[in-house]
Chain A
Amino acid sequence: MTHESVYDGLFGGESDQWAFGTDFDDPLAGVTAAVPEGADPGQLAAYCLMLGDDALVLSHRLAQWCSRAPDLEVDIALANIALDLLGQARLLLIRAADADPSVVPPLPHGSPVPAEDALAFFRDDGALRNVRLAEAENGDFGETIARLLLFATWRLALFGRLVASRDAVLAAVAGKGVKELAYHRDFAARWFLTLAQGTGESRLRITEGLAEAWRHHDELFRAHPVEQQLAALGVAVDPAEAADEVAAVLGQVFAASDVARPSVPQSGLPGGRSGRDGVHTEALSRMLAEMQSVARAHPMGRW
């Protein structure tokens, strides 16, 4: 049997339903692009890249688990979490490009690649502004869960404050993100508890994974000047303000799991510069090489 399109076969000739292969040119179409009074558009773009890159990079790390997770439910869960983060990243990268178009890397004339894809696939590691916790290799399942717990708890605390941002887009992204991140955090926290209370081996893995993720803990609460200045204007959140809430939530998980809060040397910051300044670990370069290779090979491609 032949069909005019591959979808005809899937739908038995009834193509009224489209579940696949559709795009969305601009998920922010119709959303106001006004920059809050007093805020510098370049700074707003930089801040959107920070929060957007955190989500983009961890989304890709989680997607690397696809088909490799311990069981089907976990596989689907990690892919779902990756999808939520990718959605957040997309809105934030679009917002960055709207606020300051100069952040978008140049592409060949006539390229149909939209701004958010150009930002995701055509920037080198030095232009990414994510915290280094997001880019670390997945390691084993314990390490992945420990990192997700730390990341989601931190991001939820940030977004819980960002809902009051004077920037309408940031406030809206945070408002939706809070609901998603609460699920991510609780998923990670339950697995953390399960692994800590499981076998000697699973407990060893989760505590070692936690120690590994914790090397990037302090960087999460270190405010970049852009974050500080926009926070003073009521646009951004100073991550230092979220430290107590994060410590309290993690304290609950650690207490239930009978695990001590780690005390490990922090990953070095060369010249005092962090992921927020574009200073990353080698892990990000390797990840981007894989993530970006297809898009970069086809800068005139339409996806």
Chain B
Amino acid sequence: MATAYEIAAAVPDPELPMLTLADLGVLRRVEEHGGGEEHGVPEKHSVADKHSVADKHSGTVTVVITPTYTGCPALGAMRDDLVRRLTAAGYSGVRVEVELSPAWSTDCISERGRRALAAAGIAPPGPAPRPAGPVPLTLAPARHDVRCPRCGSSAELISDFGSTPCQAVWRCGSCLESFGAMKGI
């Protein structure tokens, strides 16, 4: 039977569904309180058949997540999805807490997550800048070497702001496709 952590870790990101919350690196901790786990045969289940699994877990669980960008509306959707999935697995109480520090970084995205992003046509982020002092001003746009996720050619920045707070828009110099790239933060 899946543990609370495994259930939480498998929840997809609401805006980048090719990534799970664990891949994205926003899942900090999952703590189970009270209740005992019944040991049963692992069962593939979806939210729809929650009645069939409702008796598999008991007790309560606390999930700690961290936001990507401060204002990202996906945080609320993540909270709702976590509550729904863990409640469906039988937990009687699910509390989702937010931890702001240390701040999330794209360096938290897993290797599997990076491959999933690229496979979905989104260029994974380069290493996040970690300036020792004040963040230096950059008047020239290209900050890291972004490659086209389709053909691997070099690309140019169209805009630092894209379809989600965490993405920039780039265009491939070879196949001329525009694509999203995760900004390294």
A180 to B47, CA, bound (A): 36
Whether, in the assembled complex, A259 has its beta carbon less than 8 Å from a beta carbon of chain B, the answer is no
Q: Which residues of A contact B75 (CB under 8 A)?
A: 24, 27
Least distance between B37 CB and chain A CB atoms (Å): 24
**Contact status B135-A178, CB under 8 Å:** yes
A86 interface residue per 8 A CB criterion: yes
Interface check A22, CB cutoff 8 A:
yes
Q: Which of A1-38 contact B (CB under 8 A)?
A: 16-19, 22-24, 27-31
Q: Choose one: A76, A182, A190, A193; the contact of B161 (CB below 8 Å).
A: A76
Interface residues of A in 162-178 (CB under 8 A from B): 168-169, 171-173, 175-178
Judged by DSSP, the binding face of B is loop
Of chain A, the residue at the smallest CB distance from B166 is: A80
| Pairwise interchain contact A73-B141, C-beta atoms closer than 8 A | no
- CB contacts (< 8 Å) of B120 on chain A: these are none
Contacts of A86 in B (CB 8 A): 71
A130 within 8 A of B: no
A231 at the interface (CB under 8 A from B): no
The 0/1 profile, CB within 8 Å of A marked 1, for residues 121-141 of chain B is 000000000000011011101
Complex Cα gap A157–B137 (Å): 12
Tell me, yes or no, whether B183 is within 8 Å of chain A by CB.
Answer: yes
**Contacts A22-B77, A29-B96, A30-B98 known; A179 to B185 CB distance under 8 Å?**
yes
Q: Which of B74, B81, B103, B183 contacts A183 (CB 8 A)?
A: B183
- For the A-B complex, the count of residue pairs with Cβ-Cβ distances under 8 Å equals 133
Asked if residues B81 and A18 are in contact (CB atoms below 8 Å), the reply is yes
Tally chain B residues at the interface, Cβ within 8 Å. Answer: 46
CA distance A294 to B96 in the complex (A): 30
Question: How many A residues touch the partner, as a band?
Answer: 35 or more
Whether A84 pairs with B96 at a CB distance below 8 angstroms is no
Q: Enumerate chain A residues within 8 angstroms of B79, measured Cβ to Cβ.
A: 22, 24
Which of B19-27, B62-70, B109-117, B147-155 binds A? B62-70
**CA A178 to CA B69, docked complex, whole Å:** 11
How far, in whole Å, are A167 and B87 apart by their CA atoms in the complex? 35
What CA separation (Å) do A112 and B133 show in the bound complex? 43
How far does the Cβ of A188 sit from chain B's closest Cβ, in whole Å? 11
Instruction: Fill in one digit per residue for B146-184: 1 if any A CB lies within 8 Å of its CB, else 0.
Output: 000000000000111111010001000000000000010
Measured in the bound complex, the distance between the Cα atoms of B162 and A118 in whole Å is: 31
Closest A residue to B106 by beta carbon equals A179
Can you offer 18 A-B residue contacts whose CB atoms are under 8 A? A17-B14, A17-B17, A19-B14, A30-B98, A76-B159, A76-B161, A77-B160, A77-B161, A84-B71, A87-B70, A91-B70, A173-B70, A175-B101, A175-B103, A179-B185, A183-B183, A186-B137, A253-B137
